[in-house]
Amino acid sequence: MGRIIAVANQKGGVGKTTTTVNLSASLVATKRKVLVVDLDPQGNATMGCGVNKHELESSVYDLLVGNQSVNDIKVHNSEVGFDVIPANGDLTAAEVELIEVEHKERRLKDALDSVSDQYDYILIDCPPSLNMLTINAFVAADGIIIPMQCEYYALEGLSALLTTIERIKDINPGLQIDGLLRTMYDPRSSLTTDVSSQLINHFGDQVYGTVIPRNIRLAEAPSYGVPVLFYDKSSRGAVAYLALAGEVNRKCKKLKKAAAAS
């Protein structure tokens, strides 16, 4: 049974899509089988995985409100080595249509349950808001990775996200925070180091040891439709996401061992 991880933060521009795409590629590099679910109507993760969102015959929209299965919709990109459930602007309509659907918050979970044993990881790129799409991701997920910049407003937004996570536990009691990921990290900034220290003091080992630096190669890679590992594998961004993949694998192994012992 694969681990389903939502990559979420209601604040935009913090590196959710960058993390979803590049962590997926790095996990594949460690010989894991990965599925990416793009749950953002902008479709940036789709494009970043080398899939053209403008040429889709079906998308995650059809998974949530239609009768299509994961296997009907998923796209395999042999260049990056993982499967993608793509998204485009059609997904904007899904939230409205889901209002009329029975068990609307469980649509994604029900779809992924049928394929979770085919993958080591399923990573869900969430939209930058706490809406019905994000709730679907949280109900489906085993864990959440929260990418965040080390800046003043990041801490304020984090409390709202944590409140939402606690509420979702009524439906999905096993949901947990896998880790907080510090992104666009600049150690020369005193605010960065101050907020980073506050995160570690408050969340302890829930904060990943790996930090994702500000890196021009990370910013350039999406325009080529590939993860940074395939664009410049020696860049600081690529090395950082490989290190993060190692942390994620170790944590997953520890969780499986604990579950087997209980």
Convert the pLDDT of each residue in 53-73 to its tens digit: 999 999 999 999 977 999 999
Residue 22's CB is within 10 A of a number of other CB atoms, namely 29
Per DSSP, what are the bridge partners of residue 207? 180
From the list 206, 200, 126, the residue with the least C-alpha distance to 168 is 126
Average pLDDT over residues 238-259: 93
CA atoms in the 13 A half-sphere facing the CB of 151? 13
Residue 174: its pLDDT value, please? 93
Between the alpha carbon of residue 126 and those of residues 17, 141, 191, 201, the distances in Å are 8, 11, 27, 27
Q: Which two tokens stand for residue 105?
A: 């918050």
pLDDT band at 205 (very low <50, low <70, confident <90, very high): very high
Where does residue 233 rank: exposed (0-12), middle (13-18), buried (19+ CB within 10 A)? Answer: middle
Domain 3-261: state its class.
Answer: alpha beta
Per domain, the residue ranges of the chain are 3-261
Residue-level pLDDT at 144:
97
Query: Alpha carbon 111 to chain centroid distance?
Result: 17
Edge-to-edge strand order for the sheet containing 143-149?
A: 75-77, 82-85, 34-38, 121-125, 3-7, 143-149, 176-185, 207-213
pTM above 0.85, yes or no: yes
Mean pLDDT for the chain overall: 93
261 has pLDDT over 90: no
